[in-house]
Amino acid sequence: MAQYESHFNTQAINRKNADGNIAYGLFQLNSQWWCTNSSQPSANACSPTCSKFLDDNIDDDIRCAKRVVRDPKRMFAWRAWIKHCKGRDLSKYLADCNL
């Protein structure tokens, strides 16, 4: 999912969301729901400012992505998941993880 959302770019910013919100970082976490920025109101469910999702330390990004997945929409919160991942064999992404 991160490959299609940000091309694995931790500094990716998407200002082209139809709802006017901005998506940040590796997982393209949306400013309406998951983080706060200075230009719009947010539910801020993950607590940090959106800029925290733009550095190479992805610990907070992972914590927030896990929070997104606990939400009722689960992985469906990401359009890239629906379009590129849902129902597909994704084992190649975990091949070297020793899970």
Q: For the chain, what are the domain ranges?
A: 2-88
Distance CA 96, CA 81 (A): 21
Name the CATH architecture for the domain at 2-88.
Answer: Orthogonal Bundle (1.10)
Residue of 51, 53, 33, 52 lying closest to 43 (CA atoms):
33
What confidence score (pLDDT) does residue 85 get?
A: 86
Q: Across the strands, what pairs with 23?
A: 14, 30
* pTM exceeds 0.95: no
- 89 burial level (CB within 10 Å; 0-12, 13-18, 19+): exposed
**Residue 56's pLDDT is what?**
94
Q: What is the pLDDT of residues 2-53, one digit of tens each?
A: 889 999 999 999 887 777 789 999 999 988 888 988 777 778 889 879 999 9
Helix (H, G, I), strand (E, B) or coil at 58: coil
